[in-house]
Amino acid sequence: MKVALGQFAVSRDWQENSATCTRLMAEAQTEGADLLVLPEGILARDIADPDLVLKAAQPLDGPFLTAVCAASRGNALTTMMTVHVPAGDGKALNVLVAIRNGEIIARYDKLHLYDAFAVQESRNVTPGNQVPPLVEVAGMKVGLMTCYDVRFPEQARRLALDGAEVLVLPAAWVKGPLKEKHWEVLVTARALENTCYVVAVGECGPRNIGNSMVVDPMGVAIASAAEAPALVFATLEATRIAQVREVLPVLQNRRFARPELN
């Protein structure tokens, strides 16, 4: 599977962000990518207005995703991102969507809300209540996670036990002391402890670190971006997963039951 990591700084204007998405989709398709992963919360963002995620939220059939879906028609590229969708309770859901050939083929509502480091995501967002689905892309099974989820190993382990060979992680990882280190350690740990690939894509810009990366099942970073907008590619090999799982059979050797959602 050839993956593309589309790292960019989200603006407060959804039309501008839609145009950025469609441009990255076209570039990824030109390069023969099977999967394009974009950051978290890409409908609208403003560092001076944290409530914009709620004020700018759109339904799944709203103009933002309608435009992105239209741009995906006629090709096999799968694109994944998260957007904020009205929840009907005065808040929004942080929804990871997978889009292919003009349709939303899967969705995952973020389970773990970022109420940490003096940020309170739950002020504007309602948590999901279902384990993410797996999405098949280019013959590989892809599990869905979003940003803060990476700090909860139970979710990654559950997806791996459900059959995930790749974990996708759109993120908007906030800058701060040691935060880049946290990101690198956590993404690497989730890949190594589950012997799977992790494709982690972070928003860049004034608030967030960027630092998108792909880590292989042995914990090796095989592609990465810095702090600026970038489109990075990597190739994921099913044979690499099989090789690592043969010499490091942690999923077989585990003694704990499969994690379940409370």
Q: Cite the active site residues.
A: 40, 110, 147
CA distances from 67 to 25, 64, 103 (A): 12, 5, 11
Angle (deg, nearest 10), helices 14-30 and 63-72: 10
**Do 200 and 187 meet the contact criterion of CB atoms below 8 Å apart?**
yes
- Going by C-alpha positions, the residue among 148, 85, 87 that lies closest to residue 119 is 148
Choose among 205, 191, 168, 203: nearest CA to 37: 168
Query: Can you say whether the dihedral through the CA atoms of 227, 60, 57, 125 is positive or negative?
Result: negative
**How many CA within 13 A on the CB side of residue 229?**
9
